[in-house]
Amino acid sequence: MWFFKRIGLFVLTNIAVIFLFSIIIYLIKVIFGIDIIAMSWTSYTGLLIYAAIFGFTGSFFSLFISKWSAKKAYKIQLISPEKLGTISRKEEIVYNVVLDIANKHGIKTPEIWIYQSQSPNAFATGASKNSSLVAVSTWLLESMGEKEIEWVVAHEMAHVLNGDMVTMALLQWIMNTFVIFFARIIAEIVNSRTDGKLWGLGYMAVYIWLQVVLWMMASIIVMWFSRHREYRADELIRNYWYTQVYLFETKKDLPSFLLISHALQKNILQT
């Protein structure tokens, strides 16, 4: 059931992106008299503009609905100040760490959620530092000690403080733009080599296949940057806890928690 729910959200998101893109293209034509779609077939500049608009729409629409999507994808429970007397000790730790770091850095406290899962996951999402969400799985709370939970939650808050969600959206925009741009160019080259026989379904099949291949290549860059930001998040929180003397009794305790954090990163849903 969970799998089909995720697929449904994915399909609906893509339909919404196409609809929003169509509105943007229409408004540009009505207001400025520029037909972006026609330009995309007549010049590389037009194609690049078309790809950039489509890439931007997909990346930032997904970013702005990320909190809504997370809430719809999982069975989650909000931790609010009113519930502090009725939740478990570990759930209180999640709340207190998020609140403490948010207050110290002058940002709005993210929404704090616990969701049911059999995997040790945690993630942060949202359109900005002041409109974010931090979620922790029930399995993580059940299987980890209090200090480990503090570290994991602090790590997710580092993503919020670093603005990693927006940074990833920007990177996805760039990747989407160049995937669409070069897929169309290569498809045109292949079509010209076959004397125009690829028009129609054959052309679309080649175009979509090229998008898949190029996106797989672009994903290498995305994954490299994602790993880099994980280490940056660890570094920020490590320095923070060094000065606060809040999480660890001694600095020698830190490496074991770093290993736990990096192990968790393999299962992180969206950070």
Which of 271, 262, 269, 266 lies closest to 151 in space, CA to CA?
A: 262
Alpha carbon distance 47, 79 (integer Å):
47
Q: State yes or no: is 148 an active-site residue.
A: no
**Sequence-ordered strand ranges (E) for the chain:** 76-78, 111-115, 122-128, 131-137
- Burial of 64 per CB tally in 10 Å (0-12, 13-18, 19+): middle
For 43, left (φ over 0), alpha (ψ -120 to 50), or beta?
A: beta
Question: Distances in Å between the alpha carbon of 118 and those of 10, 54, 136, 193, 195?
Answer: 22, 36, 11, 52, 54
What's the farthest any 2 CA atoms get from each other in the chain?
73
Q: Which of 156, 188, 230, 235 is catalytic?
A: 156
The distance from CA 36 to its chain's CA centroid, rounded to whole angstroms, is: 28
Measured in Å, how far apart are the chain's first and last C-alpha atoms? 24
Alpha carbon distance 177, 7 (integer Å):
24
Alpha carbon distance 268, 271 (integer Å):
7
Catalytic residues: 156
